Amino acid sequence: MSLNAQLLHASYKELRTALDEKEVSSIELTQAFLERSKKLNTDLNAYISFTDDLALEQAREADKRIAQGEKGGILGMPIAVKDLILVKDYKCTAASKMLESFTAPYDASVVTRLKQAGAPILGKTNLDEFAMGSSNENSYFGATKNPWDTAYVPGGSSGGSGAAVAARMAPLSLGTDTGGSIRQPAALCGITGIKPTYGRVSRYGVVAFASSLDQVGPMCADALGSAAVLESISGHDVHDATSVSAKVPSFVALAEKFVVENKIKGLRIGLPKEFFSEGLDPAVDKVIKEAVSVFKGAGATVVDIELPHTKYSLATYYIICSSECSSNLARYDGIHYGHRTSKKTTNLEELYSLSRREGFGEEVRLRVLLGTFALSSGYYDAYYRKASQMRTLLRDDFKKAFEKCDLIAGPTSPTTAFKFGEKSGNPIQMYLSDVYTLSTNLAGLPGLSMNVGYANKLPVGLQLLGPWWRDDLLLGAAHAYQTLQPETLKGAML
């Protein structure tokens, strides 16, 4: 291969320059990433399927556009897409037996935008079934492994997208985040990922888990790459009434400006005491404090803040997400959508219930049951209504906190990656791995995770949370940190 293998490990900026200066073509790059991905996938299981034909056709098209002088953005840059997002004419499984043979009849709006932006789609990445999980162990197709050490989980639910980027099987990927599914795997795999402000990105054509919490977002080694993807997929969509018509800023330009104008200086960073309490691995705590001191050293001020309702976020999240999923997943009954039992049945109800029992995995069934219970008459007020009220209080906590600080920092996850099987028998332990990320989704805020070092020989993620619509601030601060600490950007399996 003529391609300079270093390019597979390049930063967003280096890759952009190589494409713009025609040092490499999109087709060469796409072929090289496909080749590397297929080789590593036997071990890592990061992709459920590849979309070679589409990727190569898109790459040829991108090369034509580049030849005509078009530049920038993600034009010609290959991307991996979580297998929860529809790509027309290709399988979309949601990592479930239920959708094992489902072919997408149309493109999700984010995919339409990726196509317009000229990013070749390499394939569909692995996840926890219907995005429910924190370790990828709930995938019907077997778990993805963490490229830093394959005895460990990559995080979830977007574990395939995280591992693919960490192992440089793709320079960019898309994940979804309902309660932490972009940020937690980004942390455990040592990369950057951002969950945008709710409403920033269209959910049309994304298999729904919990509609009031789900957001699609980018995962990439660095903040600039994430900014470039976010810029391409954001904006109002007529197909999604919750997408907002606010003008999409140029996230890449803003992040670069943030560094040039040294906006770290004077930035007030809030450290919530609830994010540094019991349950946090002291080794993670140490790396996080060091990262905060990098910001301090560059002129930021650190203030102590409180998010007093944080202790209720786990219960609130699981009532709301289970309630919404019990409704969203009602369509998979073997008639309208999804796997149909081959067993002989005598009535419709039996057909529905057998198909659902066979098609859904254990975690999905657990949540559908929980959600149905929480929404049932007699319990609705005690659970769903209470959880909705708590959601307002959690939002208010953040509103108050942002009067004192410009952004909030803390650990993304209480621990580094854990071993396969370590938490899978204990739902509470598993749920606790998202304890710092859940409240962001309940409040609709933007949240970013980036690698800031290593503990227990595994990556540690710093989480940054910003006020509504200030996704640019998170990307700017992350880019500033990464400019100061470029060694935190290296990938696994080099």
> 214: which 2 tokens?
């789900």
Q: Which is nearer to ligand GLN, 30 or 178 (CB)?
A: 178
Determine if 180 is a binding residue for ligand GLN (CB under 6 A): yes
**Where does this chain touch ligand GLN (CB under 6 A) — which range of 103-111, 131-139, 162-170, 252-260?**
131-139
Q: Output the CA torsion sign for 6, 115, 216, 142.
A: negative
- The answer to whether residue 177 forms part of the interface with ligand GLN (CB under 6 A) is yes
For residues 78 and 172, the answer to whether their CB atoms sit within 8 Å is yes
CA-nearest of 219, 218, 21, 9 to 113 is 218
Residue entry with tokens 């940020």: 183
- Tell me if 264 contacts ligand GLN by CB under 6 A: no
Nearer to ligand GLN, 108 or 321 (CB): 321
Say which residues have a Cβ less than 8 Å from residue 83's Cβ, sequence separation at least 6. Answer: 48, 49, 91, 92, 93, 94, 95, 124, 125, 126, 127, 160
**Shortest Å distance, C-beta 372 to ligand GLN:** 17
Q: Are 401 and 466 in contact (CB under 8 A)?
A: no
Instruction: Tell me which of 181, 202, 226, 232 is the catalytic residue.
Output: 181
- Rule CB under 6 A: choose which of 159, 179, 371, 461 binds ligand GLN: 179
Q: Which is catalytic among the residues 82, 124, 195, 423?
A: 82
447-455 and 458-465 beta bridge pairing: antiparallel
CB under 6 A: which stretch of 114-122, 132-140, 276-284, 416-424 binds ligand GLN? 132-140
Stretch binding ligand GLN (CB under 6 A), from 177-185, 220-228, 372-380, 449-457:
177-185
**Smallest gap, in angstroms, from Cβ of residue 319 to ligand GLN?**
12
Question: What is the rounded CA–CA span in Å between residue 70 and residue 61?
Answer: 12
Angle between the N-to-C axes of helices 223-233 and 471-484, in degrees from 0 to 180, rounded to the nearest 10: 160
Question: Which DSSP state fits 93?
Answer: -
416 touches ligand GLN by CB under 6 A: no
Given 181, 215, 313, 328, the residue binding ligand GLN (CB under 6 A) = 181
- Residue 245 a catalytic site member: no
- Is 277 annotated as catalytic? no
Among residues 157, 313, 326, 355, the one that binds ligand GLN under rule CB under 6 A: 157
175 touches ligand GLN by CB under 6 A: no
DSSP letters along 11-54, please?
Answer: -HHHHHHHHHTTSS-HHHHHHHHHHHHHHHHHHH--EEEE-HHH
What CA–CA distance (Å, rounded) separates 251 from 255? 6
CB of 407 to ligand GLN, least distance (A): 21
Site of tokens 């990013």: 119
- Please work out the total of residues on this chain that contact ligand GLN, with binding judged by CB under 6 A: 13
DSSP string, 148-160: T-TTB---SSTHH
Binding mask 195-234 for ligand GLN (x = CB under 6 A): --------------x-------------------------
Distance of closest approach, residue 14 Cβ to ligand GLN, in angstroms? 31
The only residue of 73, 78, 133, 453 in contact with ligand GLN, by rule CB under 6 A? 133
82 carries an active-site annotation? yes
Sequence-ordered list of residues with C-beta below 8 angstroms from that of 299, at least 6 positions apart, any chain: 262, 264, 265, 266, 267
Output b/e per residue, 83-93; b: 16+ Cβ within 10 A: bbbbbbebbbb
Q: How far is the CB of 183 from ligand GLN (least distance, A)?
A: 9
Q: How far is the CB of 174 from ligand GLN (least distance, A)?
A: 13
Q: Which amino acid is at 19?
A: L
Structure tokens at 321: 């997400």
Q: Which stretch binds ligand GLN (CB under 6 A): 54-62, 75-83, 172-180, 473-481?
A: 172-180
Length of the chain: 494
Contact yes or no for 53/115 (Cβ under 8 A): no
Per CB under 6 A, the list member of 25, 93, 112, 134 interacting with ligand GLN is 134
Q: Which is nearer to ligand GLN, 81 or 405 (CB)?
A: 81
154 vs 179, which CB is nearer to ligand GLN?
179
Does 174 engage in binding with ligand GLN (CB under 6 A)? no
* Per-residue binder mask for ligand GLN (CB under 6 A), 319-358, x = binder: --x-------------------------------------
Which residues of the shown chain bind ligand GLN in the complex (CB under 6 A)? 131-134, 157, 177-181, 209, 321, 434
Catalytic center residues: 82, 157, 181
